[in-house]
Amino acid sequence: MYKIIDGREVAKKIKLDINSIVEKRKQEGKKLPKIASVLVGDDAGSIYYINSQEKVSNSVGVLFEKVILDKNISEEDLIMRIEELNNDKTISGVMLQLPLPKEINEKKVINTISPLKDIDCLTYESIGKLFSGEASFLPCTPRSVVTLVESLDVNLEGLEVVILGRSNIVGKPAIEMFLEKNATVTVCHSRTKNLESVCKRADILVVAIGKPKFINSNYIKPGAIVIDVGTSEFEGKITGDVDFESVKEKASFITPVPGGVGALTTTLLIKNSCEALKNYED
């Protein structure tokens, strides 16, 4: 019988930790964590995410500033605005909503963010530190994946983890984070041969390909843990990359969409803003 991995429940415990940090700093008269979240334009997904960040921040006492910029802003002006946030000593974390308008060099702008404030691990320096085992911050979506698995008290050492998807945001950093736990990691993508049989080897299957309901029970090893990172609109509803109804009876644990990985990701971003204070104090 499968069990749901409830991202909201895991997030509740971390929110309590964040709130304790904030209250302790208040009592000691120390600076509070503060996030500046930058949105260029009016992308619907980015608006939803920035509003979610604000809601979670407010719920745990972390300060939050929305930086809403016109979609026609020049690359130079955007970089100048980010540099202002880097130099603002009241701000502990800077978050940049992606995608940016196509006229803007996304990589150049991302790498304007100070690594000391790069709470979503987007810059080259942050990514380099992650892969060298010296990360200041862990990227929030793959961190959510690993945190949800660890919430099951599973010893990852020696288990076979199959990651379906090789994006810079999820798949690639997830490789390093599972390797750090001594798991054996296989990465699959659109060119992988015999995809079904590879996925079927997995003790833990992480799916992040952006294809709604792509994974069915044929891809699942009996008793596997299934982590669904996907969020797509399908028939008017937010749907994951896993066909939940097909897979659930074969898995031992499975994340729902919504209510799984995404429910925890924003909370971990907020936690990173608290950890960022260590770059200036302690």
pLDDT tens digits for the chain (282 residues)?
799 999 999 999 999 999 999 999 999 999 999 999 999 998 877 888 899 899 999 999 999 999 999 999 999 999 999 999 999 999 999 999 998 999 999 999 999 999 999 999 999 999 999 999 887 789 999 999 999 999 999 999 999 999 999 999 999 999 999 999 999 999 999 999 999 999 999 999 999 999 999 999 999 999 999 999 998 878 888 899 999 999 999 999 999 999 999 999 999 999 999 999 877 665
Q: In 10 A of CB 108, how many CB atoms?
A: 11
CB 38 within 8 A of CB 81: yes
CA 152 to chain centre: 19
User: For residue 232, what are its two tokens?
Assistant: 């797509």
> Which amino acid makes up residue 11?
A
Sole residue written with tokens 């379906």: 164
The pTM of the whole model exceeds 0.85:
yes
How far is 71 from 29, CA to CA, in rounded Å? 39
Please give the Cα distance from 85 to 80 (Å, whole number).
9
The confidence score (pLDDT) of residue 280 equals 66
pLDDT attached to residue 250:
97
- DSSP letter (8 states) at residue 278: G
Which pLDDT value is given to residue 234?
82
pLDDT at 233: 79
Task: Please list, in sequence order, all residues whose beta carbon lies within 8 angstroms of the beta carbon of residue 225, skipping any fewer than 6 positions away.
Answer: 5, 149, 152, 154, 203, 204, 205, 251, 252, 253, 254
User: Which among 164, 147, 158, 280 is positioned nearest to 138, based on CA atoms?
Assistant: 147
For CA atoms 120, 135, 188, 157, give the dihedral sign.
negative
Domains in the chain and their CATH numbers?
Answer: 29-115 (3.40.50.10860), 140-262 (3.40.50.720)
- Residue-level pLDDT at 46: 85
DSSP letter (8 states) at residue 32: P
β-strand 160-164 against 184-188: which pairing, if any?
Answer: parallel
